[in-house]
Homo-oligomer: A and B are copies of this chain.
Amino acid sequence: MSTPQAARTAKAAPTKTPDASRRSQRSRQAILDASMELVGEVGYNRLTIEAIASRAGVGKQTIYRWWSSKAAVLLDAFLSVVHDNGYDNGIPDTGDLEADLKAVLRATADEFTDAGFEAPYRALAVAGAADAELAQEFVERLQEPGLEVYIRRLRLAQEAGQIAEDLDLHLAVELLLSPFQQRWLTRSGPLTYEFTDRLVEMALRAFR
């Protein structure tokens, strides 16, 4: 996974003094928070830089100093959540791959059934499905780094001889996560622990 924290710090660097730097960081976080709230409320299409600025209590030019578009703001807002929740730290390795994957998928199910996360993430996913350019940013900055966290955990299991040594790890993670993502996006079934546990068990049979 890339290092969103480093990227954010680098972007927020035009300030000179400690006080100005703190104010800058507060504005930045207010903008990210406002964009997450608003996209959940009005959807991606009706989200505007003006509304984000107003909700965050900053001027539009402050937003444009750091970001080129609402999509760029929103992607950084999600990367901020990903980072704050520690997802980029990786999946725990207790040595028991099945238990570790079940735990992380149960936590993901909790997250995707939480309205505060669900609404903005759905707005972004819908916008990405409709718009090829946004989709590319979405995949490169959010989806692929998310898969990479699982790939790293599977690689450890592979090195420990717990899964097949010739397994295509990227395809394996697609097999594990896509049924969850599809159920969520199309609302075709509930994201219960029963579902995520059975999904892990079935996918692992393909990995061994």
Contact = CB atoms under 8 A, between A and B. Distances in A.
| Most central of A138, A182, A199, A203 by chain B CB within 10 Å | A182
A128 B129 CA distance: 11
A168 interface: yes
Q: How many copies does the complex hold?
A: 2
A135 B187 contact: yes
Contacts of A178: 178-179, 181-182
A66 to B, nearest CB: 26
Nearest to A138: B186
A30 interface: no
A22 to B, nearest CB: 37
A185 interface: yes
Interface of A: 43, 122, 125-126, 128-130, 132, 135-136, 138-139, 143-144, 168, 171-172, 174-175, 178-179, 181-183, 185-188, 195, 198-199, 202-203, 205-206, 208
